[in-house]
Amino acid sequence: TATVTTFADQSVTNVTFSEITTASFKVSWQAPYLSNGEIPTYKIESINTNTGRKLTMEVLTYETTFTGLDPNTTYNISIMTENKPRNGHSVGLGPPVTATVTTLPLDELGLRAEALSSDSIRVTWRKITAKSKINEERFIVDLRKQDATYQVEVGADKSTYNCTDLSPFTAYPITLTYLSANGLLPEIYATTTVTTWPSAGQRVTNIRFPRTKFRSIMVAWSAPDKPYGIIKLYKVFLRSREDRRKIDVTAPKTETTFTNLYPNTAYTIIIQTENLQLNGQGGGIGKNSTATVTTLDDVYLGAVAMGTDIVRVTWKNESVLSKDNSRPSIILLSDGRVESQYEIVPGSWEQFFRNLSTFTTYTVTLMRFVSTDRDFSESFNVSVTTWPADHPTCGRRRQPPTTWSPLNMTRRVTDQNSWPWTLGLYSSVRGGYPYCGGTLIAPDWIITAAHCVELAMNCITAPVGELFSYKALTSAILFARIGDHDLNKREATEMDRVVRSIIIHPQYKVQSGNREHDVALLQLAKPVPIGAEIDVICLPQTDSTVSSSTECVFAGWGPTLSSQLNVHQVSSVLTEGRVMIESKDVCQTFEKNGIPEGQACLATRNGNPCWGDSGAGVYCPDAQGQWSLYGLINRGKFLCVGQYAMSTFIPPHVDWIRKTVAAKNVT
């Protein structure tokens, strides 16, 4: 309500009130008809009739707004005109024009607004009785956006309206204005503010991998440009078809790290954003953002003591290059006091450190730079101990052989790790059992039968006399398990080493069934550490002979004869059998077609070699108890039955073995 009293002469006219709310109103007027001077300002006073509080303003225009008022309160308004002085004479203030106005009660229109979703708001209000005789009252719903105004008119008979197509998690000021018919009554309005629900999390952007290693991935990303809510957390999923790995983590920040991954493996990273709810509404998990990354390859760092003062360090040459091939990798060797450093030359795969201390443990560290950042590298560490002064170079068992019982007529189970150079060969095309045996002659070299290589070639003809990659030729994996004893257990001493390359004796005839020169050398991708449980056997001299009274041994996982069932049964543990090297005349009795050149005749004492023993070594001791490799179990009808067996005699092939492997690597 408002009442106005006017005065003639220099008084303002037509005082009106608009935009009346619970805490403010706008007052407007017109200039005097006869001002009798130039009017520079208008002086307006507002007095709270309840408290007497006075507010005074001076304005140049014909309107002003009072704010910070009390609801449902009457205010007395006084407007005076002040003319500009002329010829040094002050004219002063004219007579006041008074009026009254009452602010709205707090709940005059009952304006309410609530979010219905992340993009809609429902506005409600209370109907009011028409205040004019002409039924043309109406409401205007006004919603302020950042870049535009959402405004709609509805009839006075309405009390609700839905605003749609809004932005999520946005505070919208809403004004409801009541307009009387033809403007006969002043307009009244109410305001409120409401926030739309937060949306589900938005997609992240710029997924990147700032630090990729051979067993870990650091993933980072940028938060959504418009999150439309408060981000609660990120859900990050790692998936791989190659190793079927599934790892799920939550990240409060825009980065996380996955560890214990497989080298040289492709992984898919999936990231979801989860927004918080607002008063129990909206929010949640949004759509996926994905990226792929491949871990770096393992460098297969190995270190083996080659003597009392020398250590050999090996690595996979193509894996040590920096990400952009511009940074050399560094090898550091330290005993805690003295440090040696070597910068890896591209294409190299081994380095010898000499003049070291006897029987001293060294830490070998390979630093591979995986980005152009000099401060970021990936480290690989192994330890190695140089030999003591009295270290036997090869063929030394850590415990003496056990005496055989005269009643023992079959092979027997070995003491664990009693033959530290004995190993089993496995191929991905031959199943999960050692299909052949082999013998360790250097930390990264194995000797076995050439026909064992043929058995794993998957119907592909093997090259002869030259190194070749088994994996490249067959698309399969060949590996050796060293330090094993019981196939049904995972033992602390056992190690698996992938075969990197193979060379078959140049005079061996593949796919012929011939037993002459049945020898092959297998180079491991990574050397094994030499110690009490794993060691190398000695190679004999080229002119070595073994007397017929010398008792030798072979060991393998081939089937053994069951005395109860009188049948051969697969053995899950390493067994050994006694043999003696005899003259060819002894075996000639059993070999109708004669004995091929380069074969040794073995008289068996406690059961013959059987399937799975092929390629295993025949070990003979000297007077000092040092063991040498004198034969490789061959193939033939003697397997599993009879009183004799055939083996490839090693001494005639020693020169070829040493030249191929290099004498510095073989004792």
pLDDT number for residue 563: 58
Question: Between 48 and 562, where is the model more confident?
Answer: 48
pTM tops 0.85: no
Instruction: Classify residue 27 by its DSSP letter.
Output: E
Instruction: State how far the Cα of 193 lies from the Cα of 1, in Å rounded to an integer.
Output: 26
Give pLDDT, residue 661.
86
pLDDT exceeds 80 at position 485: yes
When pLDDT is averaged across residues 519-523 and rounded to a whole number, the result is: 96
Give me the long-range contacts of 382-385 (CB less than 8 A, separation at least 24): 382/301, 382/302, 382/303, 382/529, 383/303, 384/303, 384/304, 384/305, 384/311, 384/529, 385/305, 385/359, 385/360, 385/361
User: Are 647 and 600 contacting, i.e. CB atoms less than 8 angstroms apart?
Assistant: yes
Higher pLDDT: 38 or 496? It is: 496
Q: Which two tokens stand for residue 177?
A: 């204005």
Q: How far is CA 177 from CA 140, 513, 592, in A?
A: 5, 103, 118
Q: Which DSSP string corresponds to 457-501?
A: STT-PPPSSS-B-HHHHHSS-EEEEES--BTTS--TT-EEEEEEE
Specify the pLDDT at position 376.
66
Architecture per CATH, 205-294: Sandwich (2.60)
Q: State the average pLDDT over residues 458-484.
A: 93
CA–CA gap between residue 657 and residue 441 (Å, rounded): 10
Distance CA 161, CA 121 (A): 8
pLDDT tens by residue, 354-376: 999 998 999 999 988 876 455 56
Higher-pLDDT residue of 277, 155: 277
Q: How far apart are CA 47 and CA 54, in angstroms?
A: 4
Reading the block at residue 154, the tokens are: 């509805």
Give residue 548's pLDDT. Answer: 67
- Give the pLDDT of residue 184: 46
What whole-number distance in Å separates Cα of residue 288 and Cα of residue 298? 31
pLDDT digits (tens, 9 = 90+) for 416-459: 999 999 999 999 998 889 999 999 999 999 999 999 999 999 88
- Reported as a single tens digit per residue, the pLDDT across 385-411 is 887 887 667 888 877 677 776 656 678
Nearest CA to 359 out of 333, 390, 386, 391 is that of: 386
- Show me where the domains of the chain are located: 2-102, 112-195, 205-294, 302-385, 415-524
Instruction: State mean pLDDT over 638-659.
Output: 86
pLDDT for the residue numbered 551? 80
Residue 345 region by backbone torsions, left for phi larger than 0, else alpha for psi between -120 and 50, else beta? beta
Fold of the 112-195 domain: Immunoglobulin-like (2.60.40)
Interval 229-240 mean pLDDT: 96
**Residue-wise DSSP of 87-124:** TTB--EE---EEEEEEPPPTTSS--EEEE-SSS-EEEE
How many CB atoms neighbour CB 29 within 10 A? 24
pLDDT at 298: 86
Question: What is the sign of the dihedral through the CA atoms of 440, 446, 449 and 452?
Answer: positive
The better pLDDT of the pair 40, 221 is held by 221
Q: Which is more confident, 498 or 182?
A: 498
pLDDT confidence of residue 323 = 58
**Which token pair is 8?**
């003639």
pLDDT digits 0-9 by tens, 487-511: 999 998 999 999 999 999 999 999 8
* Position with higher pLDDT, 634 vs 169: 169
Out of 274-278, 454-458, 497-501, 603-607, least confident range = 603-607
Average pLDDT in the chain: 84
Tell me which residue has tokens 């060819």: 584
Please return the burial class of 352, using the count of CB atoms within 10 Å of its CB with bins 0-12, 13-18 and 19+.
Answer: exposed
pLDDT at 92: 67
Is the per-residue pLDDT at 89 higher than 50? Answer: yes
- In 3D space, the residue among 369, 366, 306 whose CA is nearest the CA of residue 342 turns out to be 366
Buried residues in 595-610 as b, exposed as e (16+ CB within 10 A)? bbebbbbbbbbbbbbb
Q: What is the band of 642 on the pLDDT scale with cuts at 50, 70, 90? A: confident
pLDDT of residue 141: 80
> Among 2.60.40.720, 2.60.40.3080, 2.40.10.10, 1.10.800.10, what is the CATH number of 415-524?
2.40.10.10
Decide if 302-385 and 415-524 have a common fold.
no
pLDDT tens-digit readout, 94-148: 789 999 998 877 666 788 899 999 999 999 988 765 444 445 667 778 777 665 5
pLDDT at 133: 40
pLDDT at 664: 42
Q: How far apart are CA 70 and CA 47, in angstroms?
A: 11
Give the pLDDT mean for 3-9: 45
pLDDT band at 201 (very low <50, low <70, confident <90, very high): very high
pLDDT at 76: 96
Structure tokens at 490: 């995972």
Say which residue, 106 or 88, is predicted with more confidence.
106
Whose CA is closest to 293, among 254, 260, 263, 331?
Answer: 263
Domain 2-102 fold: Immunoglobulin-like (2.60.40)
pLDDT at 36: 60
Q: Token pair of 165, please?
A: 């197509």
pLDDT at 187: 61
What is the arithmetic mean of pLDDT over 462-471? Answer: 94
- CATH, range 302-385: 2.60.40.10
